[in-house]
Structure 1
Amino acid sequence: MAAHVFLRTLRRLFHGRTRALLSTDGRPPGNVSQGSVNICLLNRDGKPLWMSGRVGETLLNVVMNANGPVEGYGACEGTLSCTTCHVYLPSEAFERMCQPTEDELDMLDLAVGLAETSRLGCQVVLEPWMDGMKVKVPKHTADLRGLAEDGKMEG
């Protein structure tokens, strides 16, 4: 089974089954159960947001289950049709993860501020080794779907 098919299967299995815990005081959420992963999301304003999600859940779902603390994040709800969940991963995490699919790479080509460690949060599936990982949200994002709908984009 191809890695991306396996990851999609995992996402379907775990989608919506957990509620992310959120801490805005710079500390990981307390009382995290086994099978959970703490992630620090550095928001556009630089403030750390600690969240907890379950292993197998996507970073996008963790953020959305925390009541969407990042404005405009995940506009397409994980359908891989926008770049609003674009994040920068630490180098070591980027290298350890599976390679992005062609579909993800195509969307990343449209992302504002693309970097070597860019990924889409809807494609980042939490694993136990990610506990404590710091993920940065780019300062700027663009949802090209809205431009196309408004007739501002040719194509």
Structure 2
Amino acid sequence: MKKFIFLTVIISTLLSCSSDESFDNNPYLARPSFKYQINLELPKYANIGNPGSAIYVNEPYVGISGVFVYNFGGGTFTAWEAACPNHIPNGDCLAMSLSSPIVTCGCDDYKYDLLTGSILTNPDTKDDKKYYTLQPYNVYYSSASNSITISN
């Protein structure tokens, strides 16, 4: 149990302190301003209650194409933009499909990890194109209200 808590703290620290420029300089995705609260008592969000689970939040004005929320366990969550990070959002490239802990872009079948946001597919690097990770959002978990607040 101590190892799990230690690992959770390390991963959480790395995610919150990341200075990876691909998060900030993605030319395909805007940085929308929003704040959305998820009440974990609602049946609609029951699937996010277990460690290792993820949900897709598709509400108006939440992200660009919605948000994926992943439960690490121990009150630690991540939230990522649901739009494909390596395309301008349109048509088939709107929202990725979820198969926790992996999301897949419908345009190119690139796969991304909801734990770290990193791309799992090995893109063709011969084209000198820069490939982007998932766009992160801020997450705050409140055990008092049993809710998660996602914001940007």
TM-score under structure 2 normalisation? 0.26
- Higher strand share goes to which structure? 2
- Higher helix share goes to which structure? 1
TM-score under structure 1 normalisation? 0.26
